[in-house]
Amino acid sequence: MGFAVGLMSGTSLDGIDAALVELKGSGLETEVRLIDFMTISIEQSLLREIEDAITLKSSNAQHLCSLNFKLGYAFANAVKQICEKNQFSLKELDFIGSHGQTIYHQPELEGQFIQSTLQLGEPAVIAYETSTKVVSNFRVMDMAAGGYGAPLVPYSELLLYQNKSKSRLLQNIGGIGNVTVIPKNATVDQLVAFDTGPGNMIIDEICKRFFYVPYDANGDLAAKGTVHERLLERCMSIPYILAPIPKTTGRELFGSQFVDQILAEFKEVSTYDLVATMTMFTAKSIAENYKQFIFPKQSIDEVIVSGGGSHNKTLLRMLQDLLGNDCKVCTQEDIGYSSDAKEAIAFAILANETLHGIPSNVPSATKAGRSVILGNITPVPY
Ligand SMILES: Nc1ncnc2c1ncn2[C@@H]1O[C@H](COP(=O)(O)OP(=O)(O)OP(=O)(O)O)[C@@H](O)[C@H]1O
Ligand SMILES: CC(=O)N[C@H]1[C@@H]2OC[C@@H](O2)[C@@H](O)[C@@H]1O[C@H](C)C(=O)O
């Protein structure tokens, strides 16, 4: 099919991830070659606008309307930057797969609010600015089919990581944590995938409020603290953590309102201990979900961690301690892939499937009533 850029701006709001890839073929036989990956920072003013848009108290219609277009320009710019860096002409680009910025995700009915999801980043702007076909808005068709609209990476993960002799567990630790179980020789309907709970989102919020840094680089702050057991227990008692699978969550549950709540309840905990405890909360929510829902049904040969959380050494150490030495935790780099690029590559793969008319949601992961072709296609406009 040719060359594509996959774009992902995730729940961490840490930048726009862009992967320039070459794709050959389609379906589970697709061959994928990563040419380059970049994270393009989001301007402070745009970042504040996103934060306002996702906060129910400050969000409004005019704001969302304008932000949709501003994000479109930011995504187009990310495509231009990665192409320029690689001396790759936009004319050579066959398509763009753009996830968009999740503004709100409502996987379950809640009072008057029906199942719905909103990702912004106007594809018309991206297509016009780059003169390239865009596939976007991947989550909504899965939801129209009765699914949660997430997680969507399991299909691309089966395609990239399926192994004849190893059962693999792919754990992404972005803003939210999500896992895909790929039994050896698995087919699409044998996949198990769900969001385990928080990833870095709570850790980041504590780092911003108390240490004036965007995240706990390498987990150094957490390493200086001690886990506060009662706070950890309080966090682990949130019903989502051990709710039955499949399940999906987001900033709506683990964002700044959650941090306000626990800070009000646990005023006595020191700032270092807060970071340590929230790091352990992420690790323990992952480990307990494995023990409850995965290990009883499937023996696992490898746990492969991706996402920004794979750079947090304290988090990885805690996860390894909780899982024990029989279950080796490694990173994407250890098996020759890129931890940071995985999701952006996934949206290039999903776009390729859409353009070939191939369904790419995984109903066992999203609870959709059937498999469906994902996304909206915006043609080359001129
Ligand atoms: N060197 C590092 N040390 C520790 N943590 C890091 C490091 N680099 C990145 N991170 C963490 O990773 C986060 C970004 O991860 P990532 O880009 O995978 O998330 P995302 O794609 O936005 O989220 P999601 O996958 O939930 O949509 C940062 O916010 C930070 O918490
Ligand atoms: C609604 C939404 O944006 N969900 C994201 C989020 O970030 C991680 C986790 O929660 C996952 O369910 C999903 O993203 C990945 C890319 C997915 O769909 O597989």
ipTM of the complex: 0.97
Q: How far apart are CA 207 and CA 14, in angstroms?
A: 14
Q: How far apart are CA 224 and CA 220, in angstroms?
A: 7
Which mutation among 11, 54, 194, 201 tests ligand 2's pocket best, with the greatest number of atoms within 8 A of CB? 11
The alpha carbon of 207 and the centre of ligand 1 are apart by a number of angstroms equal to 13
Q: How far apart are CA 201 and CA 205, in angstroms?
A: 6
The alpha carbon of 115 and the centre of ligand 1 are apart by a number of angstroms equal to 27
| Alpha-carbon distances of 325 from 40, 295, 297, rounded to whole Å | 37, 14, 19
Kindly report the backbone phi and psi dihedral angles of residue 213, in degrees, each rounded to the nearest multiple of 5, phi listed first: -125, 155
pLDDT tens per residue, range 153-195: 999 999 999 999 999 999 999 999 999 999 999 999 999 999 9
DSSP 8-state symbol, 296: T
Place of tokens 């719905």: 116
- Look up residue 380 and give its amino acid: V
Question: Is residue 16 part of an annotated ligand binding site?
Answer: yes
pLDDT of residue 326: 86
| Alpha-carbon distances of 361 from 8, 73, 114, 170, 369, rounded to whole Å | 17, 28, 20, 17, 11
Q: Which ranges in the chain are annotated with CATH 3.30.420.40? A: 2-150+341-378, 153-335
Residues with Cβ < 8 Å from 135, sequence gap 6 or more?
95, 96, 97, 98, 350, 351, 354, 355, 375, 376, 377, 378
Angle of the 342-355 helix axis to the 153-161 helix axis, nearest 10: 100
Place of tokens 């994902």: 374
- CB contact at 8 A, 343 and 17: yes
Which mutation among 286, 312, 313, 339 tests ligand 1's pocket best, with the greatest number of atoms within 8 A of CB? 312
Relative to the alpha carbon of 153, which ligand is closest?
2
Tokens standing for residue 281: 């909360």
Pick from 173, 172, 149, 150: nearest CA to 160:
172
Own/partner pairs for 260-268, CB < 8 Å, 24+ apart? 262/231, 262/234, 262/235, 265/234, 266/228, 266/230, 266/231, 266/234
Own/partner pairs for 300-303, CB < 8 Å, 24+ apart? 300/167, 300/168, 300/169, 300/181, 300/327, 301/166, 301/167, 301/168, 301/184, 302/166, 302/167, 302/168, 302/169, 302/328, 302/330, 302/335, 303/169, 303/171, 303/327, 303/328, 303/329, 303/330
pLDDT tens per residue, range 18-31: 999 999 999 999 99
| 153-335 fold | Nucleotidyltransferase; domain 5 (3.30.420)
Is CATH 3.40.50.2300 the classification given to domain 2-150+341-378?
A: no
Residue 306 alpha carbon, nearest atom of ligand 1: 18
pLDDT of residue 1: 64
Q: Give pLDDT tens digits along the chain (382 positions).
A: 699 999 999 999 989 999 999 999 999 999 999 999 999 999 999 999 999 999 999 999 999 999 999 999 999 999 999 999 999 999 999 999 999 999 999 999 999 999 999 999 999 999 999 999 999 999 999 999 999 999 999 999 999 999 999 999 999 999 999 999 999 999 999 999 999 999 999 999 999 999 999 999 999 999 999 999 999 999 999 999 999 999 999 999 999 999 999 999 999 999 999 999 999 999 999 999 999 999 999 999 999 999 999 999 999 999 999 999 889 999 999 999 999 999 999 999 999 999 999 999 999 999 999 999 999 999 999 9
Relative to the alpha carbon of 215, which ligand is closest?
1
Chain centroid to CA 112: how far?
Answer: 27
Q: Whose CA is nearest to atom 11 of ligand 2?
A: 151
Tokens standing for residue 178: 């999500």
Q: Does ligand 2 come within 6 angstroms of the Cβ of 248? A: yes
- Look up residue 315 and give its amino acid: L
